[in-house]
Amino acid sequence: MEVAIRGTTVTVIGNNVIGFEQNNLVNNIVGTVDTETGWEFSLKVYMTKTMQYNQIPFTRDNNVIFTKLTADMMPVGGKYIGQFEMTKGQQLAQTEKFEFWVENSINLNEVWTPIPTTFTELATNTRILQQHPPIPGDEGYWMLWDLETSEYKTSVYPLPTDTNSGLVTSFNGRTGVVNPQEGDYTPEMVGSVSSSGGTVNGNLVFEGENKITIVTEPQEDTDVTNKQYVDSNIEKIDKTNIIESLPKQIMVQLVNVNRTETTNTAEIQIATKQEDGTYSTSVQHGVLTLIGAGQGIDGKQGAGLMILADKNKLDGIPTPTIEDNGKILVVENGKYSLKNLNEIQG
């Protein structure tokens, strides 16, 4: 297409059809100008079909400007509206708008329904090749999947000769396509524990209803057993032996009796008989506090552990009598009984 630019007026000379859409480097726009040297030109384009804009640079040679059109400059058919932009340094000027046309073409890049057969076959073949990637061959060449015979065939592409390439060409006596098999790795090699036993460093955490089941009887003191084994053996325990294992004589004694208007307290001491016949009564095991009914510690009315009359009776017992009246738990022949201290000492 040829145009003449005089000042800001644009005149299309001859046919205003440039060519067909998607034509590439076969159509030109040539113009003559009357502006002085130093003014550069570009063409601003509005494509009415797609409502998109573009700007096309022009080359100037004296009073002639020209450009060779590419496919992306005329991507769609239809009416185009153009306007030249002229620049010189910071100066900028616009010409009037003018119209030109691009003829429609059959566009294979548009979406087809259904997809053309060629594209369907290409997609299928691509998927098959993804499922059968190249593998190292025994003869030092890559093996590629053959779409026609559906099998691997030796290619002309050699395998890397670098010993540090990281490729696995053989394992456990197998070469070529090396796939994992049972027995290739031990549990220890993959950080697991063998079914025959092993050592676990760390905690075992079981989620939900998962648990450890022990099916054999314990053999060592540190072995873990199961509930069934305990239930079956607990009845065999000799309770007499347990009693006999207790100290033969245990003394229980109340000391440091203290009385107030509302409470009676005493320290409870429990001791076993020593080899020299004495009792180690230096350890305090607890404090017994008896509160009269209706006489709270804070002076308020409340429930007590004994009635007031009983408290009055306790108050009437001399403190030395209480402290001297120690009781001895005596174990004899698998039986135990409670005796007064003077009975044992006698």
Determine the Cα–Cα distance for residues 345 and 325; give it in Å rounded to an integer: 13
**Most confident among 124-128, 167-171, 327-331 (mean pLDDT):** 124-128
* Residue 213 near residue 226, CB atoms below 8 Å: yes
Q: How far apart are CA 75 and CA 105, in angstroms?
A: 10
- pLDDT score, position 117: 61
Pick the CATH number of 2-103 from 3.30.70.20, 2.60.40.3350, 2.10.109.10, 1.20.120.1760: 2.60.40.3350
- For 1, 129, 130, 183, the CA distances from 126, given in Å and listed in that order, are 44, 5, 6, 35
95 band by pLDDT with thresholds 50, 70 and 90: very high
The model's confidence at residue 333, banded by pLDDT at 50, 70 and 90, is low
Quickly tell me which residue has 């230096």 as its tokens.
282
Predicted pLDDT at 290: 57
The string of pLDDT tens digits covering residues 43-66 is 999 999 999 999 999 999 999 999
Of 84-98, 118-132, 302-316, which range is least confident?
302-316
Give the residue, 30 or 138, on which the prediction is more confident.
30
Region 91-107: what's the mean pLDDT?
A: 94
All CATH 2.60.40.3350 domain ranges of the chain, comma separated, are: 2-103
How would residue 325 be classed by pLDDT, with cut points 50, 70 and 90? low
Tell me the pLDDT tens digit for each residue of 228-284: 777 777 666 666 665 556 566 666 666 777 767 666 676 776 776 666 766 665 554
User: What local confidence, expressed as pLDDT, does residue 346 receive?
Assistant: 41
CA triple 302-304-309, angle to 5 deg: 110
Tokens 């009693």 belong to residue: 243
Mean pLDDT, rounded, of the chain: 76
Q: Which of 13, 12, 27 is nearest to 74 (CA)?
A: 27
**Strands (E) located in 7-69:** 9-13, 17-20, 27-33, 40-47, 52-57, 59-61, 64-69
Place of tokens 């005149």: 11
Cβ-count burial of 15 within 10 angstroms (0-12 exposed, 13-18 middle, 19+ buried)? exposed
How do the residues of the chain divide into helix, strand and coil, expressed in percent and rounded to 5?
15, 40, 45
Cα angle value 137/141/147 (rounded, 5°): 75
| 8 Å CB contact between 227 and 317 | no
Q: What is the pLDDT of residues 294-320, one digit of tens each?
A: 554 554 454 445 556 666 666 677 766
Average confidence (pLDDT) over 104-110: 78
Most confident segment among 61-70, 205-214, 314-323:
61-70
DSSP state at residue 124 = H
